[in-house]
Amino acid sequence: MAAEGQQHPLKVYYMVWLLLFIVSFFSYMVDYLHLQGALRWTLILVFMFVKAGFIVAIFMHMQWERLALKIAILGPPVAILVLIWLMSLEGIHVEDSRLEYYGESTMVPETPHH
Amino acid sequence: MSEAVANDAMEAGGTQGVVDDWSRDKQVFGVPWGKAMMWIFLLSDTFIFSCFLVGYMSVRIATTDPWPLPSEVFALTMFGHSIPLVLIAIMTFILITSSGTMALAVNMGYRKDRNKTFWLMVATAVLGASFVGMQAFEWTKLISEGVRPWGNPFGAAQFGSSFFMITGFHGMHVSAGVIYLLVIAFRVRNGFYEKRGGNYEIVEITGLYWHFVDLVWVFIFAFFYLW
């Protein structure tokens, strides 16, 4: 068993810390600059996965763990992709049914003002 | 990155290592049991948050009413300008800062620097508490503007239920984390772990929980606030 656990140079943590700040700033800019469509969604997902990856790999030390632990923890969440796929099909079906039986929405939303 | 595998230097890595870890008459995971248990708890928590986020996706696809624009709903007027999502951006930066101080606390814990570990954990807890405070402010503001779990003036009724459920459950995790951090921090300071052989793995385990809370926020920020 590990006698002294996870010890790494502080420089690694400072680098990741800085990187998380920069990437978060970029993802905020996606909204601030009103990017739309495929570009917006691609950038949101890319920045999200970069941040999540560095947090898990470095801050949570996953990259230094043995492969058995990596597989046990990071493997099962892949099943969520199936759930996302099924629930998006379900969502589309429900929306189509609503449009067919209830027609288009007549709601007139207010604009938020602060 | 450096191959800093101090433990199990004698054992095989890669897929052969996986086979060895599972088939030998020994503990499967070469980590303290507390850490393995925390990882397994976090795995189950991953599924809970995923269910919330997938549920949100599902109702957002299914509604025929327009979805309220988060960019406008969460805008704040500061210095005479309406800045989109500004409070959420500040909360994001606060949580990242707290993750950084936590990572340093773990490192200082392994160096057995009790004083620095204590203060870094307290700093993490204070940042976490300020995050919860801002969330309370956000909720108060939205409630005063008429957002309810069953409806709101800005669009689809499902917006409110998704918002309160997801951010509420996350906020509860942050609040629990603040308490957890403070308990462990004071134990580090009063020498509780010195009596137990000076083992500071508990700081890393607490850190895992805290980084996970930050990790969940990354996904909430992307899917709920930016999408």
B81: β partners: B78
pLDDT at A6: 81
- Cβ neighbours around A107 below 10 Å, total: 13
B154·A112 Cβ contact <8 A: yes
**Sequential DSSP letters for B151-188:** B-TTS-THHHHHHHHHHHHHHHHHHHHHHHHHHHHHHH
| Contact indicator for B188, B109 with CB cutoff of 8 Å | yes
Q: Which residue has the tokens 């990017």?
A: A35
Determine the residue among A6, A23, A44, A85 to mutate to test chain B binding: the one whose Cβ has the most chain B Cβ atoms within 10 Å.
Answer: A6
Instruction: Give how far the C-alpha of residue A16 lies from the chain's centroid of Cα atoms, to the nearest Å.
Output: 17
Residue predicted with more confidence, B190 or A108 = B190
Q: Is A85 on the interface with B (CB under 8 A)?
A: no
What are the domain boundaries of chain B? 1-30, 32-226
Q: How far, CA to CA in Å, does A4 sit from each of A19, A60, B6, B107?
A: 27, 16, 8, 11
Ranges of chain B whose pLDDT falls below 70: 1-10
The two structure tokens encoding residue A106: 């007549």
Q: Is A50 on the interface with B (CB under 8 A)?
A: no
Tens of pLDDT, residue by residue over B17-43, are: 899 889 988 888 888 999 999 999 999
| Mean pLDDT of the region A24-52 | 93
Running DSSP on this structure, what letter comes out for residue A57? I
pLDDT at B201: 92
pLDDT at B204: 94
**pLDDT confidence tier of residue A114, bands split at 50, 70 and 90:** low
| Contact indicator for A77, B50 with CB cutoff of 8 Å | yes
Tens of pLDDT, residue by residue over B56-96, are: 999 999 999 999 988 888 888 877 788 888 899 999 999 99
Whole-prediction pTM:
0.91
B40·A73 Cβ contact <8 A: yes
pLDDT at B8: 47
Q: Which CATH number fits domain B32-226: 3.30.565.10, 1.20.120.80, 1.10.10.10, 1.10.3720.10?
A: 1.20.120.80
